[in-house]
Amino acid sequence: MYWDRDIETMERSALQRLQCERLAATLERAARAPYYRRLLEKTGVADVREPGDISRLPFTTKAELRNEFPYGFLAVPLTDVVRLHSSSGTTGNPTVIYHTKADIIAWQDLVARCMYMAGMRSSDVFQNIMGYGLFTGGLGFHYGAEKLGAMTIPVGPGNSKRQIWFMREFKTTAMHILPSYAMRLATHVKEMGLDPRTDLSVRMAFVGAEPHTEETRRRIEETWNIRAFNSYGLSEMCGPGVAFECPEQSGMHIWEDSFLAEIVEPDTGAPVPDGECGELVLTTLTRTGTPLLRYRTRDLTRIIPGPCPCGRTHRRIDRIRGRSDDMMIINGVNIFPLQVEQTLMRIPGIGSNYLIEIHEENFMDRLHVSVEMAADSFQGTLSQLEGLQSRVLAALRDETGVTPVVKLLEAGSLPAAEGKAVRVVDRRAQSGKGC
Amino acid sequence: MSVKQISVFLENKKGRLAEVAKTLSHEKINIRALSLADTADFGVLRIIVDNPDRSLTVLKTHGFVAQVTEVIAVEVEDRPGGLSRILEVLDQDNVNVEYMYAYVEKSRENAIVICRIDDRERALQILEKNGIATLSAEALKAL
Ligand SMILES: [Zn+2]
């Protein structure tokens, strides 16, 4: 049941002692990176007595990672580095994370722990439908699954026919997939005359890399007749393996032996009590190549108070509610893209793909929501379509307080994303920014 | 007797209708009759084809949202008053016609009217009682 019983069920007090030791070691290591050496000389961190002592340090943000390109955060000699992962830097410098051999081994072990916790075993056949390369999702799960001992099919994303071929030929039982692609792939399975619920052997999926709602997860589970587990990670930490759902499926255990988690108020940086929503801030506790202190993830979540029935003592974070920087402001009203998703996924007959566009019309913001209809819900009448369109409009208006323009699309007509699905496009002249 | 019509959901996007026609013609499926109902944003294309089951499979594998709708096909004399008699008969018994469209087969004197009626069974009885013949799928195909 546990991949690493001692760590996963460690008493809270012992876990906190471990965190302190590792935090002290992390500070020492971090001081070897040029950026943190300068910072720590200024602020001077003496001894760490409790994990909360970290709050005496300033935050690290993505901007600093960019500004210090390429080696400002590197804490070991380059000869000790065995791999780098980097964000796609289309504007400005990319963010680069360097991994030593020890970092890679620790990361593999964390991902194996996650998959084992969800119920994957070495007898499973694991199909990794995620991008390999600089993106951490593919390689992270790949090495985790190998470490666990499951036969791993490194197929990567896209090419639905090939995905289904592998699933059938090798009786895939577990897959790692983007939530948006999980729904699209099911459609392709049906188009081939197969029932994803009964004609395939898939029994579980790991879904992540895109924030998604509980409603979307339930749809994936129903469509495939599988259990889907939410995965949380970010390339600045390691990638996947930071937090993961256990069989209880109520929140993701954040591995506190490897990460020190804080939840802060996004605007002020002040700590937020357990149970309340704020921005997740993470400090690496074992990493050697690129230790990061108090890294602002921009991800909004909360600590779920109380112990988990599964027996693991590591605290749980809630499903990511959005990013502090992807909030849309429509004529002064704050809306999160996931609010739109949640609303759409509750309406029967609506497919799982949607696109939010913000236009400027007559000096006013206008929210446009295009949504695909579910292929098998079409009844052949215009009145059904009109009814569906007005139901979507009313539901979105009730949820957001903004009256959108709703467009009903044919199934499969939104561009198929091989990577993360683009859900929001801001077409307003002054902002010029897509979230 | 009722026949199968294929209904296709179409966004109002240039060339979508042509794509349906092309997809079917590639499969050597003949569109016998066609009608389009639309709003500003989307429409429903209704077609009568010589092989409805295969058409549905073909359209779905090409990513169209399509389904089968049971409709009634009636042969109507191609002269004034031919259509109104049918509507009168149905109206007398309060049968509501959701929509209808007609086409003329070149081999025939008469026009074929396709009617979509919710209460299909009752409509069929009424038409039969009034001596108005409906076409079976086979008869329609043979035309
Ligand atoms: Zn648990």
Query: Does B104 or A62 have the greater pLDDT score?
Result: A62
Provide the percentage of residues in chain A whose pLDDT is more than 70: 95
What is the pLDDT, as a whole number, of residue A90?
55
User: A97, A62, A96, A98: which is closest to A78 by C-alpha?
Assistant: A98
What is the pLDDT, as a whole number, of residue A324?
76
Q: What is the mean pLDDT of residues A199-212?
A: 93
In this structure, what token pair is assigned to residue A198?
């009964």
Q: What is the mean pLDDT of residues A313-319?
A: 97
Q: Which residues surround ligand 1, an ion (CB under 5 A)?
A: A 246, 248, 308, 310, 312
Q: How confident is the model at residue A35 (pLDDT cuts 50, 70, 90)?
A: very high
Q: Which residues of A touch B11 (CB under 8 A)?
A: 407-410, 413
Model confidence at B140: pLDDT above 60: yes
Q: Are A324 and A309 in contact (CB under 8 A)?
A: no
What is the pLDDT, as a whole number, of residue A45?
66
- Look at the domain A328-431 and name its fold: GMP Synthetase; Chain A, domain 3 (3.30.300)
Alpha carbon of A308 to ligand 1 centroid (Å): 5
What CA dihedral angle connects A213, A219, A221 and A222, to 10 degrees?
160
Whether B44 has its CB under 8 Å from any CB of chain A: the answer is yes
Query: Does A12 or A414 have the greater pLDDT score?
Result: A12
Strand, coil or helix: B2: strand
Q: Are A57 and A30 in contact (CB under 8 A)?
A: no
What is the pLDDT, as a whole number, of residue A54?
87
Q: What is the mean pLDDT of residues A139-159?
A: 96
What is the pLDDT, as a whole number, of residue A104?
98
What is the pLDDT, as a whole number, of residue A425?
86
Whether B53 has its CB under 8 Å from any CB of chain A: the answer is no
Distance of CA B38 to CAs A60, B10, B118, Å? 55, 9, 20
In this structure, what token pair is assigned to residue A196?
């994803």
Q: How confident is the model at residue A176 (pLDDT cuts 50, 70, 90)?
A: very high
Question: Which class is A1-324 in CATH?
Answer: alpha beta
**Across chain B, which distance is largest between two alpha carbons, in Å?**
45
Query: In Å, how far is A197's CA from the nearest CA of chain B?
Result: 19
Q: What is the mean pLDDT of residues B89-110?
A: 85
Structural domain spans, chain A: 1-324, 328-431
Secondary structure, 3-state, chain A: CCCCHHHHCCCHHHHHHHHHHHHHHHHHHHCCCHHHHHHHHHHCCCCCCCHHHHHHCCCECHHHHHHCCCCCCCCCCHHHEEEEEECCCCCCCCCEEEEEHHHHHHHHHHHHHHHHHHCCCCCCEEEECCCCCCCHHHHHHHHHHHHHCCEEECCCCCCHHHHHHHHHHCCCCEEEECHHHHHHHHHHHHHCCCCCCCCCCCCEEEEECCCCCHHHHHHHHHHHCCEEEEEEEECCCCEEEEEEECCCCCCEEECCCCEEEEEECCCCCCECCCCCCEEEEEEECCCCCCCCCCEEEEEEECEECCCCCCCCCCCEECCCCEECCCCEEECCEEECHHHHHHHHHCCCCEEEEEEEEEEEECCEEEEEEEEEECHHHCCCCHHHHHHHHHHHHHHHHHHHCCCCEEEEECCCCCCCCCCCCCCEEECCCCCCCCC
Q: Which residues of A touch B117 (CB under 8 A)?
A: none
Q: What mean pLDDT is reported for chain A?
A: 91
As to burial, measured by CB atoms within 10 angstroms (0-12 exposed, 13-18 middle, 19+ buried), residue A277 is: middle
What confidence tens digit (pLDDT) does each residue in A229-263 have? 999 999 999 999 999 999 999 999 999 999 999 99
Q: How confident is the model at residue A420 (pLDDT cuts 50, 70, 90)?
A: low
In this structure, what token pair is assigned to residue A117?
């916790």
The rounded distance, in Å, linking the Cα atoms of A405 and A424 is: 14
Q: Are A349 and A219 in contact (CB under 8 A)?
A: no
Model confidence at A148: pLDDT above 90: yes
Model confidence at A431: pLDDT above 50: no
Q: Worst-scoring range by mean pLDDT, A347-351, A361-365, B76-80? A: B76-80
Q: How confident is the model at residue A89 (pLDDT cuts 50, 70, 90)?
A: low
Provide the percentage of residues in chain A whose pLDDT is more than 90: 69
In this structure, what token pair is assigned to residue B76?
């109507």
Q: 342-401 in A: which are within 8 Å (CB) of B?
A: 373, 375, 378-382, 385-386, 389
**Which pTM does this prediction carry?**
0.78
User: A369, A366, A367, A365: which is closest to A353 by C-alpha?
Assistant: A369
Interchain CB distance below 8 Å, B65 and A373? yes
Q: How confident is the model at residue A434 (pLDDT cuts 50, 70, 90)?
A: very low
What is the pLDDT, as a whole number, of residue A435?
31
Secondary structure, 3-state, A83-114: EEEECCCCCCCCCEEEEEHHHHHHHHHHHHHH
What is the pLDDT, as a whole number, of residue A91?
61
Count Cβ–Cβ pairs < 8 Å, chain A vs chain B. Answer: 52
The rounded distance, in Å, linking the Cα atoms of B49 and A398 is: 43
What confidence tens digit (pLDDT) does each residue in B43-95 have? 999 999 989 999 999 998 888 999 999 999 998 877 777 788 888 888 988 89
Question: Which class is B3-103 in CATH?
Answer: alpha beta
Cα angle for residues A329, A331, A335 (degrees, 5° grid): 35
Top residue of B45, B58, B65, B115 to mutate, by most chain A CBs within 10 Å, is B65
Interchain CB distance below 8 Å, B7 and A410? no
What is the pLDDT, as a whole number, of residue A125?
98
Distance of CA A171 to CAs A78, A174, A198, Å? 42, 9, 12
Distance of CA A195 to CAs A90, A164, A181, A198, A391, Å? 40, 11, 17, 6, 29
Q: What is the mean pLDDT of residues A323-348?
A: 85
Q: Are B49 and B6 in contact (CB under 8 A)?
A: yes
Q: Are B48 and B31 in contact (CB under 8 A)?
A: yes
As to burial, measured by CB atoms within 10 angstroms (0-12 exposed, 13-18 middle, 19+ buried), residue A91 is: exposed
Structural domain spans, chain B: 3-103, 110-143
Distance of CA A411 to the CA centre of its chain: 25
User: A117, A144, A116, A120: which is closest to A130 by C-alpha?
Assistant: A144
What is the pLDDT, as a whole number, of residue A51?
81
**b/e map A329-353, b = 16+ CB within 10 Å:** ebeeeebbbbbbbbbbbebebbbbb
Q: How confident is the model at residue A36 (pLDDT cuts 50, 70, 90)?
A: very high
User: A135, A83, A92, A59: which is closest to A292 by C-alpha?
Assistant: A59
Q: How confident is the model at residue A417 (pLDDT cuts 50, 70, 90)?
A: low
Q: Worst-scoring range by mean pLDDT, A80-94, A130-144, A164-178, A278-292? A: A80-94
